[in-house]
């Protein structure tokens, strides 16, 4: 039987650094480990929580069940054709290390996703994205194991129902599958995406005239390091909320009172995406701190643990933000982080 530990501290396994315990804990390095641990968990009839990099969770209490850390490793070039490399990464690979590996190998397309915390296995779940690129743009397929009957299934692009920070694994198939590996379709010839945010400006400062994968990755890393807190230094889970998508009518109504509200119309939907960071700043939370919980001064979409904040305190703080934004703008912010 795999090594199952009891009353295991999760402090180092969640990027908020919340001090909670799992009733049972197991780290799985092989698919066989996962299978036997699932057998055990089903016999025990104890709840299951699969943890990847722990960078998108907020624990508000101890977990009264089994926490399974998916630590499957390995990166392989599955095949190539004239246009693409098909690169398979196991779920427990660190996302940023995978990006660095692809940059070294000249597998193009995920350089804009540098320095996103977390593991490969979680990347399709919430269709991670930054600087104009999302996982769905480079996704080929994934393998996942069904938690109940333990068959391994391949999901193609269309099966995943990707949306903005969303997929079928957050909805209809929530908690039903464990992602084992993800295969990415990465270009041989570059199509650089430098138009978003201040990538071009950062490249200029770096005195780069002809950008390549490595310089774009470096620019993204610089921008992120300037604006986002390093979870190793200051506990956080990246963007705590999603950017809300609201009816154009509501957007126009808000604009009457706040002519400077930024918005990005989503074509053919009569809706507009509004930066949650802006709403939170207007609601007065930017840089606000209560005890050890704070709204990060350089990017208010990020909530931080300044020391010994409890998960409950961070959750209460986020509820406060949701309430204030709803009152002022009639917009319901949705948490991006998974709450346990």
Quote the CA–CA distance of 271 and 255 in Å, as a whole number. 14
**Contacts to ligand EPU from residues 219-258, by CB under 6 A:** 238-239, 242-243
Residues 101-130 vs ligand EPU: string with x where CB under 6 A?
-----------------------------x
Among 93, 111, 134, 336, the one annotated catalytic: 336
Q: Candidates 20-28, 78-86, 96-104, 272-280 — which segment interacts with ligand EPU by CB under 6 A? A: 272-280
Pick the binder of ligand EPU from 277, 295, 303, 322 (CB under 6 A): 277
**Catalytic residue status for 336:** yes
What are the C-alpha distances in Å from 147 to residues 35, 42, 48, 176, 274?
Answer: 9, 9, 9, 6, 37
Pick the binder of ligand EPU from 47, 65, 263, 275 (CB under 6 A): 275
Pick the binder of ligand EPU from 47, 190, 197, 263 (CB under 6 A): 197
Q: Is 131 in the site for ligand EPU (CB under 6 A)?
A: yes
Least distance CB 151 / ligand EPU (angstroms): 32
Quote the CA–CA distance of 166 and 336 in Å, as a whole number. 9
CB-wise, 41 or 239, nearer to ligand EPU? 239
Question: In b/e form, how buried is each residue of 24-45, taking b as 16+ CB within 10 angstroms?
Answer: bbbbbeeeebbeebbebbeeee
Task: Compute CA 264 distance to the chain's CA centroid, rounded to the nearest angstrom.
Answer: 21
**Catalytic residue status for 239:** yes
Q: Per DSSP, which regions of 214-300 are E strands?
A: 235-239, 245-247, 264-266, 271-273, 289-290, 293-295
Residues 14-43 vs ligand EPU: string with x where CB under 6 A?
------------------------------
CB-wise, 7 or 264, nearer to ligand EPU? 264
**Catalytic residue status for 55:** no
Q: Per DSSP, which regions of 125-201 are E strands?
A: 129-130, 133-134, 139-146, 152-156, 177-187
CB-wise, 33 or 123, nearer to ligand EPU? 123
Question: Cβ-closest residue to ligand EPU?
Answer: 238
- For 71, residues 6+ apart whose C-beta sits below 8 A from its C-beta are 27, 28, 29, 92
Among 123, 165, 310, 335, the one annotated catalytic: 165
Residues 281-300 vs ligand EPU: string with x where CB under 6 A?
x----x------------xx
Quote the CA–CA distance of 145 and 332 in Å, as a whole number. 34
CB-wise, 180 or 274, nearer to ligand EPU? 274
**Contacts to ligand EPU from residues 45-74, by CB under 6 A:** none
Q: Per DSSP, which regions of the chain are E strands?
A: 5-9, 21-28, 48-51, 57-58, 63-70, 75-80, 84-90, 129-130, 133-134, 139-146, 152-156, 177-187, 235-239, 245-247, 264-266, 271-273, 289-290, 293-295, 302-305, 338-339
Among 114, 181, 239, 310, the one annotated catalytic: 239
Binding site for ligand EPU (CB under 6 A): 130-131, 197, 238-239, 242-243, 262, 275, 277-278, 281, 286, 299-301, 336
Residues taking part in catalysis? 165, 239, 336
């Amino acid at each position: 039987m795999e090594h199952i530990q009891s009353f295991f501290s999760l402090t180092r396994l969640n990027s908020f650094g919340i001090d909670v315990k799992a009733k049972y804990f197991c780290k799985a390095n092989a698919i066989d480990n996962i299978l036997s641990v699932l057998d055990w968990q089903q016999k025990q009839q104890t709840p299951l929580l699969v943890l990847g990099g722990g960078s998108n969770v907020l624990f508000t209490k101890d977990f009264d069940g089994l926490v399974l850390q998916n630590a499957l490793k390995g990166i392989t070039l599955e095949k190539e054709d004239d246009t693409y490399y098909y690169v398979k990464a196991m779920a427990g690979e660190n996302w940023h290390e995978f990006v660095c590996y692809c940059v070294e190998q000249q597998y193009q397309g995920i350089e804009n996703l540098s320095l996103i915390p977390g593991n490969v296995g979680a990347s399709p779940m919430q269709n991670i994205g930054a600087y104009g690129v999302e996982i769905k743009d480079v996704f080929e397929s994934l393998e996942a194991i069904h938690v109940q009957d333990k068959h391994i299934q391949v999901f193609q692009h269309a099966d995943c129902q990707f949306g903005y920070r969303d997929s079928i694994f957050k909805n209809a198939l929530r908690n039903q599958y464990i992602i084992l590996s993800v295969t990415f379709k990465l270009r041989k010839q570059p199509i650089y995406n430098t138009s978003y945010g201040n990538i071009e400006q950062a490249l200029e400062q770096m005195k780069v005239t002809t950008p390549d994968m490595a310089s774009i990755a470096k620019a993204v890393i610089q921008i992120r390091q300037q604006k986002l807190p390093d979870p190793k230094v200051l506990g956080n889970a990246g963007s705590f909320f999603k950017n809300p998508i609201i009816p154009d009518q509501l957007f126009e109504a808000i604009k009457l009172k706040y002519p400077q509200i930024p918005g990005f119309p989503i074509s053919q939907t009569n809706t507009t995406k509004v930066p949650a960071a802006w709403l939170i700043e207007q609601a007065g939370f930017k840089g606000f701190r209560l005890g050890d919980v704070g709204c990060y001064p350089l990017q208010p979409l990020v909530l931080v643990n300044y020391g010994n904040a409890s998960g409950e305190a961070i959750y209460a703080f986020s509820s406060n933000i949701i309430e204030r934004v709803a009152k002022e703008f009639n917009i319901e912010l949705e948490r991006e982080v998974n709450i346990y």
